[in-house]
Every structure is written in structure tokens, then in C-alpha cells.
Amino acid sequence: MLLMATILHLGKSSLPKKPITDDDVDRISLCLKVLSECSPLMNDIFNKECRQSLSHMLSAKLEEEKLSQKKESEKRNVTVQPDDPISFMQLTAKNEMNCKEDQFQLSLLAAMGNTQRKEAADPLASKLNKVTKCQIHR
């Protein structure tokens, strides 16, 4: 009873960021009243009926979550047709790369503060720029 009274007092004060709702105040007050009276009928209602309704609510919620997960898994199934084109980034021309840049990589670079283009940030591109043609005379 002391804990419930303390929760009521704290909820009505200005200390918590979110104040206690009127429904919660009514419920806690009712629980305090039942605990103070101790009648057999109220004990039966709180101990048996409330427990049954809570278990029924939790089982209904569990079934609802299972149905929503099943629907989400059905939505996630991506069907790929056998004649869909396959894009190989290594085989595309440099001018085609501009329109097909990896959006995830670009957003990641923007989030990290790098606003460089993908070609400038690519370490392989900078290494290939240093390669020169060498002629061997015999």
C-alpha cells in the first residue's frame, strides 16, 4: 500500500517528465481501497478475474503479433524473375557509374561528413591514376 501511495504522490507531483494519467490514478486508488477493505468478493475479483482477463489480453496480443510478423514476412519476399538483368558494377563504364552510384554508400559518406564523390573516395581509383605505361626496348 505504501508503494502505491508513493507512486500516486510522485505521479501527481511535477517531478516526472510525463504526469500520471487519470486512468492510472483511478486504478491505483481502487487497488488501495480494495487492499484496505479486504472483502472476499473484491479479493476474488482482483486475484482471479483480473488475472484471467490479463492472460486473455496477452494471448490475444501474442496472436496479433504473430499475424503481423507473418504478413511482414510475406511482404519481404522479393521475387526475382529469371530474365531480370544483373548489374555488374565492375563491368559498367565510368560514365554509366554516375547514374548508378550506391545510394547507401553516398548517404553513409554524407552522414560521416565526407561529401566527396565516390570516385574520389575510392582508394583503387587513386592507385590506378598513378599507373603509367612503360616501354621496354630490346
Question: Residues with Cβ < 8 Å from 28, sequence gap 6 or more?
Answer: 4, 7, 8
Inside any domain, residue 9 = yes
Instruction: Give per-residue pLDDT as tens, 6-20.
Output: 999 998 888 888 888
For the chain, how many structural domains are there in total?
Answer: 1
Q: Residue 59's domain spans which residues?
A: 2-70
Dig out the grid coordinates for 111 from the structure: 552522414
- pLDDT level of residue 62 (50, 70, 90 thresholds): very high
Residue in the structure block whose three cell numbers are 544483373: 86
Inside any domain, residue 24 = yes
Inside any domain, residue 16 = yes
Inside any domain, residue 122 = no
Inside any domain, residue 110 = no
Inside any domain, residue 92 = no
Please report how many Cα atoms fall inside a 13 Å half-sphere around the Cα of residue 28, on the Cβ side: 18
DSSP state of 47: I
Please tell me the distance from the alpha carbon of residue 109 to that of residue 115, in angstroms, as a whole number. Answer: 6
Contact 115, 109 (CB under 8 A): yes
Inside any domain, residue 39 = yes
What pLDDT is recorded for position 69? 86
Burial 96-127 (b: 16+ CB within 10 A, else e): eeeeeeeeeeeeebeeeeeeeeeeeeeeeeee
Contact 44, 29 (CB under 8 A): no
Which DSSP string do the residues of 5-34 spell out, in sequence order? HHHHHHHHSS-SSSPPPHHHHHHHHHHHHH
Instruction: Give per-residue pLDDT as tens, 13-50.
Output: 888 888 888 999 999 998 888 888 878 887 788 788 88
Dig out the grid coordinates for 129 from the structure: 591514376
Inside any domain, residue 109 = no
